[in-house]
């Protein structure tokens, strides 16, 4: 059974590091880390997680949208593990929507993100995959990818007036 890992919070310098590329996909420690990220994500009602959030600065993220207490309207999808991901916008169109983060507890912010993106990544067996992501799932990916660059969603919020406590968010927005 994979262990639930502690999620580091804003202020921990690991969240500000640029994460390192993964060279050995079959490494036992890497495969264990993927399993641990999966159970940590599920246990914390997240829809995505990046390895730096458990203090491991490697280029690994999981996108796993599904409805839960923190995101009641999230679409359901198979959790997707992405190693060494890259992406580009398909169109210039950006939309603002509310985001939260397991590493920034209690706060939501309005963040502009590209609506449609093309992503390329290695799956956990090392095979190259390509996908087009849209809307909420594209938003999750861009949020998690930012963690690999040492950024958090607060860095993308355009005004402090577009921040809200989690409690008010759940009362007013959901």
Q: Give me the catalytic one of 17, 76, 93, 144.
A: 144
Nearer to Zn ion, 101 or 122 (CB): 101
Token output for 60: 């690994």
Report the nearest approach of Zn ion to the CB of residue 146 (Å).
8
Tell me which residue of 85, 92, 94 sits closest to 147, measured CA to CA. Answer: 85
- Minimum Å distance from CB 28 to Zn ion? 27
Q: Does 33 bind Zn ion (CB under 5 A)?
A: no
Residue 7 as a binder of Zn ion (CB under 5 A): the answer is no
Q: Look at the block and give the residue holding tokens 């990220």.
A: 37
In the complex with Zn ion, the residue whose CB is nearer, 25 or 170, is 170
Burial bucket for residue 166 (CB in 10 Å: 0-12, 13-18, 19+): middle
Closest contact distance (angstroms) between CB of 55 and Zn ion is 14
Q: Which lies closer to Zn ion via its Cβ, residue 27 or residue 158?
A: 158
Residue among 118 and 156 whose Cβ is closer to Zn ion: 156
Q: At closest approach, how far in Å is the CB of 157 from Zn ion?
A: 13
Q: Does 37 bind Zn ion (CB under 5 A)?
A: no
Distance of CA 23 to the CA centre of its chain: 21
Residue 47 makes contact with Zn ion by CB under 5 A: no
State yes or no: is 149 an active-site residue: no
CA angle at 76 for the pair 107 and 85, rounded to the nearest 5°: 75
Interface of this chain with Zn ion, residues 77 to 136, rule: CB under 5 A: 101
- 167: part of which helix (H) or strand (E)? helix 166-172
Residues in the chain: 174
Residue nearest to Zn ion (CB): 101
Give the Cα separation of 56 and 62 in Å (integer).
14
CB 137 within 8 A of CB 63: yes
**Size, binding site for Zn ion by CB under 5 A:** 1
Catalytic residue ranges: 144
Chain residues in the site for Zn ion (CB under 5 A)? 101
């Amino acid at each position: 059974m994979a262990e639930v890992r502690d999620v580091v919070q804003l202020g921990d310098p690991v969240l500000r590091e640029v994460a390192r590329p993964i060279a050995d996909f079959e490494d036992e420690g890497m495969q264990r880390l993927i399993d641990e990220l999966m159970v940590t994500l599920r246990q914390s009602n997240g829809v995505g997680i990046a390895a730096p959030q458990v203090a491991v600065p490697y280029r690994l993220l999981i996108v796993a949208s599904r409805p839960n207490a923190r995101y009641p309207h999230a679409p359901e999808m198979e959790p997707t593990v992405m190693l060494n991901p890259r992406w580009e916008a398909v169109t210039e169109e950006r939309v603002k929507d509310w985001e939260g983060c397991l590493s920034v507890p209690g706060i939501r912010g309005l963040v502009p993100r590209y609506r449609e993106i093309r992503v390329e990544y290695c799956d956990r067996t090392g095979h190259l995959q390509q996908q087009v992501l849209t809307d909420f799932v594209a938003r999750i990916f861009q949020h998690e990818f930012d963690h690999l660059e040492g950024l958090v969603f607060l860095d993308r919020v355009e005004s402090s007036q577009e921040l809200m406590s989690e409690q008010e968010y759940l009362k007013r927005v959901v």
